[in-house]
Structure formats: structure tokens, C-alpha cells
A and B are shown apart, each in its own frame.
Chain A
Amino acid sequence: MGWFERLTGRERSAKKAKDRLRLVLIHDRTDLPPARLEALKDELIAVISRYVEIEPQAVEIQLSQDGREQYLVANIPLKSPGRRRS
């Protein structure tokens, strides 16, 4: 936080613009709106659960980027063997 934010409790407009653009560009580039990403996540959980036990609530899936390359990054924790029988 810069001095302006501290003093006024308000965010500078350029920072706000950059944050908003960052989000909107990710979705523009992939043509994957947030709601479709949610649907993809649900299906992914269903498919993976057929093969291995996972923690559905802990699954994270998001778009990330490196330059203009876009990646779909999934973090899918498996259920630990210790807890399996509990």
C-alpha cells in the first residue's frame, strides 16, 4: 500500500484499472467465462473420482499465464490413505 492508500483508505485508480484488466483479459483470451470454468471443475471432479479418491472441496482450478501463453492449472489433493478408513 502506498502513502495515498494509507492516507485516504482509497485505492489509486490506475491500480484498480490494472487489476480489473488482468482478470478480464484472462477470460477474453480463453473464451472461458467463470461460470463455464466452474462447470469444467465439477465434471473434472466426477471423472477423476472414478479412478482415485480425492477431496472435492479442496480442488482448485484456475487460469494462469506466462506472457501470452495461457495455462489451466489444477490442484487436486488426493485423499490420504491414513484417513481413508476413518
Chain B
Amino acid sequence: MGKVLTITSGKGGVGKTTTTANIGAALAGLGKKVVCIDADIGLRNLDLVLGLENRIVYDLVDVVEGRCRLRQAMIRDKRLPELYLIPAAQTRDKTAVSPSDMVEICDELRREFDWVLIDSPAGIERGFRNAIAPADEVVVVTNPEVSSVRDADRIIGLIEAEEKGPARLIINRLDPRMVRSGDMLSVEDVVELLAIELLGVIPEDESIVINTNRGMPVVLNPKSKAGQAFHNIARRLLGEKVPFMPIEEESGGLRKLLGRWLRGG
């Protein structure tokens, strides 16, 4: 039986869709059979991030309303052995799907796939409830920034209230340089404030922008730091103990000089 993993956040634009695409691609790269569902109905995006936008025939709402079978709405990503997408409808809204529809669909998918990933819309309303109703595990994505941490806290509380917790945390867009200079919340700060288990940290990385432009998940680029971080998250999801990468920082000139001086060298 496969697992249903929902990726959610509270605040929009923190990296849920990017995270879903990359964890999906990383798990598929590790030999798992994976399907990603875009639950952001009306604001379809996962297709574009995965580079599958030209192959959509049917969508999630077509499945729910019986215009096609579940299998017909799945698009296979040809770059990876077993990665599929079920796209969101673009011209409908969140009320076209109910939490029980999602549970039914995921029960069917669980039988065939190792992982069912759900990309949740922002917010705390219907779309969020649709996305977490079928979840076995929930991941909350946040940025190291005040509004996104506050909204993450609210979502974590709602996940607990729905008895889907404890959620695990992904901190995205961490800029080590700013953390070092004391102008960005650190990993430790965010984990202490939210008091949930950390699943991974993704650095701010321009390769995400470049790869997203191309419709290619960044995990397919072995040189990308963010890609490596997503890969590590996928391995942790599979139960491996992967040490957290030191958020390794390029030491600036002054710091190096000071360091040498302090060490007496």
C-alpha cells in the first residue's frame, strides 16, 4: 500500500509546487512509483513546473465528475521511469472537488503507487481541506520570514486538529549569507518557534528559477544545491537517516581574515 503525502503551507508562494515536483521526481529517481496530484484547482501550475503542460487532456475535476477514468487523467513524465501527474482543472474552483472525492481517488491510487503526492493550494479553506483529507503524512513548507512562519504555525495547528499530525517541516529559500549576518531567521530559530520535526532545508538557489523556466525539476540537475537538498528529503521520506547538510557558507574576505587573526595564524 502506498503513502499519501500532502505538501501544504498556509501562505502562498513559499514553494509548495516546486517542492511537490522535486520530491516527486526524486522519489521516482530512487525507483519508486509516484503520482503527483495538483489540488490547486483554478490555479493550475504543477504541470508547468514539471514541463507537462502540453500533454493535458483530462484533469482532476473530469475524474470527479465522471467524464473520464482516473487512468485517463494521468500524464506520464517520460524523463523518469514512473512519475505521473494528475493536473488540476483551470477553469473551475475548489468547490468542484470535495474532501471525500479526494479520499476516494487516493484510496484507488494507493493500491497502485508507492507515493501519492498532493500539491495543496494556499489558504485554510476548502482547497486545504481537500488536500489534507486523504493524507497519511503532511509536510509544511515555510520560508524563514515572519508572515510565512506565522501562517505555517496556524496550518500546523489545523493539521493537528484534523488529526493528520504531527506534520514535518521544510524550510525553503534559506540564504546562508543573510543568516550569518543576523538578518534572516536561522533553521534553529524556525524549528524552535514552530516546534515540529524538520524534514529538510532548501537553500535559495537560482537554479530553481532556471530549471522551472525549462520545466525540468531541479533534482535532475546533479550540480544544483537545492536539487541535492530535495534528494535528501526524498531519502528521509523513505526512512533513511540522512544527515542535514551543513548550510555551508562561502566565507567572506573579512571573516576569513578575522578567523585567521583570532586563531593566531
Contact = CB atoms under 8 A, between A and B. Distances in A.
Interface of A: 2, 4, 12-15, 17-18, 20-22, 24-25, 28-29, 65, 67-68
A14 B153 contact: no
Nearest to B189: A18
Given A29-B157, A68-B195, A68-B196, A14 B182 contact: yes
Interface of B: 145-146, 149-150, 153-154, 156-157, 160, 179, 181-186, 189, 193, 195-196
12 contacts: A12-B181, A14-B183, A14-B184, A14-B189, A17-B146, A17-B185, A21-B149, A21-B185, A24-B150, A25-B150, A29-B153, A68-B160
A22 B160 CA distance: 20
Contacts of A15: 182
A71 to B, nearest CB: 13
B145 to A, nearest CB: 8
Contacts of B153: 25, 28-29
Contact of A21 (B150, B154, B157, B196): B150
Given A12-B181, A14-B179, A15-B182, 7 more contacts: A14-B186, A17-B189, A21-B146, A21-B150, A22-B193, A25-B193, A68-B195
Contacts of B186: 14
Contacts of B154: 28
A29 B153 CA distance: 8
B208 to A, nearest CB: 23
Contacts of A67: 195
Nearest to A12: B182
**Most B CB within 10 A of own CB, among A2, A24, A25:** A25
Contacts of B146: 17, 20-21
Contacts of B189: 14, 17-18
Contacts of B179: 14
A24 B150 CA distance: 8
A44 B154 CA distance: 29
B183 A13 contact: yes
Q: Which 3 pairs, one residue from A and one from B, show the smallest C-beta to C-beta distance?
A: A12-B182, A67-B195, A68-B195
**Most B CB within 10 A of own CB, among A4, A17, A24, A29:** A17
B182 A13 contact: yes
**Most B CB within 10 A of own CB, among A15, A21, A28:** A21
A49 B162 CA distance: 40
Given A18-B193, A68-B196, A28 B150 contact: yes
Nearest to A4: B182
A29 B156 CA distance: 10
